[in-house]
Amino acid sequence: MSQYILELKNINKSFGAVKVLKDVSFELLPAEVHALVGGNGAGKSTLMKIMTGVYTKDSGEIIINGENKEIHSTNDAKANGIAMIFQEMSLVPTLSIMENIFLGSEIKKGAFRDVAAMKVKTKEVLEKLGLELDPDTRVSDLSVGMTQMVEIAKAVSKDVKILVFDEPSAALSDSETARLFQIIRQLKENGVSMVYISHRMNEILEICDRVSILRDGQNVTTLNTSDVKMEDIIAYMLGDANAGHQFEWIPRTYDENGQDVLEVKNLKINEKLNDVSFSLKKGEILGLAGLMGSGRTEIMETLFGIRKPLGGQILIDGKEIVNHSPADAVKKGFGLVPENRRREGLILIHSVRENAILPVSAKLIKHKIFNDDKRINRIVSDNINDLGVKTNDMNDEISLLSGGNQQKIVIAKWLNSDPKILMFDEPTAGVDIGAKGEIIKIIRKYADNGGSVIFASSEIAEMMAVCDHIITIFDGRITGELKREDIRTEEELQNAIQRK
């Protein structure tokens, strides 16, 4: 009898001519939390989708409790107690929480849906996870973080023995992540084995027992997290040891006495965020630092015309403006790389190329170079090179790209449109550690060329690496403004963020 609850042996998988997994093996122990890490496009999601029946392997074996099994569908996986929480949200936004949880497995009373029973069961599951949600709430009315929690609720509502989390924390607030970790520990105590995919190394060391590293569709190694340092994992991922230096701050200059490009005066967004004031100069990178949920996203969404302010003023080059919609904001020179790319950032049925030039199109038409295919191809292939986007062909549908590579295209798209003020809300969520450094360099270059940037990230190291100025926000209030050169350590910034 095998000590493993599940073994994947020599798994191979190609999409068209591209070999995505090459003889990959993976072993899962009972009641362990096993991290799966690797660069964007390394094959993590694909391997797990094979285990959960979303994709079928070309060759290799799946062994569950010592027995060879075929998994050809998610139902096969379900029958073996395997479930996955996807990187791409898989809930139906127009349905309620309850309807989503019971989609395809409704409780029936004779020929009818037993709504009362499903509601009770939904409430039970939500309560078990510490979620105070009404089962009748529509998923489209939930925050990104809560939507993710409902995905988890849906998975644990079935009797799972093996649960895969594909970057669950990318969209969660700090407190939601803490709750997720409690849930994981609780599941572990109940004997559930879990696979945890993440680009956040500190999480892996905190919550996982072992870590397996994939690079370019191949196994690198599997280690106990207690025996390994963060730098080692990164080195295994990238394949060379000189990583980790890309987050260094390089002091930059811009005209600190110049006119403000943007002024925000006493902006009132809601009851909590009711007096937001700051300004931004040409070439400046301004950080909005705060815990998730502190109001950073709301501020950017208001500037971008997604939310309607209840009071206060927004001025561009000294003139008051009102953005009635994102299209309006784009016309006035704003760009936003949003937190939730699937809802707002991309048109998934379009190609990589079309997505990358989306906001540029209007400008290209104006300059009569819209049909200049060569020039457009050059722009997009530069993007692909600069950001290390893993794609076979820029004309491929963007939904075929791995999660992190999709995010890079969202960033490329906004850089291409060359707005006056470019806002980044958690731009590196889901992006691998190598590309994070590249993104920071590109943002810096953009500002060096005269663009102004508003940047928010929950990764303190990134804020420290890229910002000239940092505004701290606590619970909707601006609590301080710091010059980057006056902040000596990450702890100092962390403390400033937590000060009321």
Ligand X SMILES: Nc1ncnc2c1ncn2[C@@H]1O[C@H](COP(=O)(O)OP(=O)(O)OP(=O)(O)O)[C@@H](O)[C@H]1O
**Contact call for residue 404 and ligand X (CB under 6 A):** yes
CB of 220 to ligand X, least distance (A): 13
Our CB check for Mg ion shows the closer of 391 and 402 to be 402
Our CB check for Mg ion shows the closer of 133 and 211 to be 211
CB of 42 to Mg ion, least distance (A): 8
Secondary structure string (H, E, C) spanning the chain? CCCCCEEEEEEEEEECCEEEEEEEEEEECCCCEEEEECCCCCCHHHHHHHHCCCCCCCEEEEEECCEEECCCCHHHHHHCCEEEECCCCCCCCCCEHHHHHCCCCCCEECCEECHHHHHHHHHHHHHHCCCCCCCCCEHHHCCHHHHHHHHHHHHHHCCCCEEEEECHHHHCCHHHHHHHHHHHHHHHHCCCEEEEECCCHHHHHHHCCEEEEEECCEEEEEEEHHHCCHHHHHHHHHCCCCCCCCCCCCCCCCCCCCCEEEEEEEEECCCCCCCEEEEEECCCEEEEECCCCCCHHHHHHHHCCCCCCCEEEEEECCEEECCCCHHHHHHCCEEEECCCHHHHHCCCCCEHHHHHCHHHHHHHHHCCCCCCHHHHHHHHHHHHHHCCCCCCCCCCEHHHCCHHHHHHHHHHHHHHHCCCEEEEECCCCCCCHHHHHHHHHHHHHHHHCCCEEEEECCCHHHHHHHCCEEEEEECCEEEEEEEHHHCCCHHHHHHHHHCC
Torsion, Cα 34 40 44 45, to 10 degrees, reads 120
Our CB check for Mg ion shows the closer of 287 and 404 to be 404
90: alpha, beta or left? (left if phi > 0; alpha if psi -120 to 50)? alpha
Question: Which of the stretches 41-49, 66-74, 239-247, 443-451 binds ligand X when contact is defined by CB under 6 A?
Answer: 41-49
CA 464 to chain centre: 20
Burial 155-191 (b: 16+ CB within 10 A, else e): bbbeebbbbbbbbbbbbbbeebbebbeebbeebbeee
Q: Which does 297 bind (CB under 5 to 8 A by kind): ligand X, Mg ion, none?
A: none
Q: Which does 238 bind (CB under 5 to 8 A by kind): ligand X, Mg ion, none?
A: none
Q: Which residue is nearest to ligand X (CB)?
A: 404
Question: Which of the stretches 66-74, 359-367, 401-409, 411-419 binds ligand X when contact is defined by CB under 6 A?
Answer: 401-409
Question: Which of the stretches 43-51, 106-114, 328-336, 370-378 binds ligand X when contact is defined by CB under 6 A?
Answer: 43-51
Our CB check for ligand X shows the closer of 44 and 179 to be 44
Rounded to whole angstroms, how far apart are CA atoms 379 and 361?
12
Rounded to whole angstroms, how far apart are CA atoms 212 and 210?
7
CB of 166 to Mg ion, least distance (A): 6
Our CB check for ligand X shows the closer of 42 and 443 to be 42
Our CB check for Mg ion shows the closer of 83 and 273 to be 83
Strand order in the sheet with 477-483: 334-337, 421-425, 452-456, 285-289, 469-474, 477-483
CB of 446 to ligand X, least distance (A): 23
CB of 405 to Mg ion, least distance (A): 9
Write out the residues near Mg ion by the rule CB under 5 A: 45, 87, 402-403
Question: Which of the stretches 3-11, 126-134, 175-183, 396-404 binds ligand X when contact is defined by CB under 6 A?
Answer: 396-404
CB of 153 to ligand X, least distance (A): 23
Place of tokens 């020929």: 111
Our CB check for ligand X shows the closer of 298 and 432 to be 432
Looking at residues 49 to 88 of the shown chain, list those that interact with ligand X (rule: CB under 6 A): 87
CB of 140 to Mg ion, least distance (A): 24
Q: Which does 351 bind (CB under 5 to 8 A by kind): ligand X, Mg ion, none?
A: none
CB of 57 to ligand X, least distance (A): 13
CB of 420 to ligand X, least distance (A): 30
Using CB under 6 A, which of 161, 341, 390, 413 touches ligand X?
Answer: 390
**Contact call for residue 435 and ligand X (CB under 6 A):** no
Q: Which does 295 bind (CB under 5 to 8 A by kind): ligand X, Mg ion, none?
A: none
**Contact call for residue 43 and ligand X (CB under 6 A):** yes
How many residues contact ligand X, by CB under 6 A? 19
**Contact call for residue 345 and ligand X (CB under 6 A):** no
CB of 227 to Mg ion, least distance (A): 26
Q: Which does 390 bind (CB under 5 to 8 A by kind): ligand X, Mg ion, none?
A: ligand X
Using CB under 6 A, which of 400, 460, 461, 482 touches ligand X?
Answer: 400
Using CB under 6 A, which of 5, 11, 20, 97 touches ligand X?
Answer: 20
CB of 87 to Mg ion, least distance (A): 5
**Contact call for residue 122 and ligand X (CB under 6 A):** no
**Contact call for residue 405 and ligand X (CB under 6 A):** yes
**Contact call for residue 15 and ligand X (CB under 6 A):** yes
**Contact call for residue 375 and ligand X (CB under 6 A):** no
Rounded to whole angstroms, how far apart are CA atoms 427 and 443?
10
**Contact call for residue 212 and ligand X (CB under 6 A):** no
Q: Which does 301 bind (CB under 5 to 8 A by kind): ligand X, Mg ion, none?
A: none
Q: Which residues bind ligand X (CB under 6 A)?
A: 15, 20, 38, 40-46, 87, 390, 400-405, 432
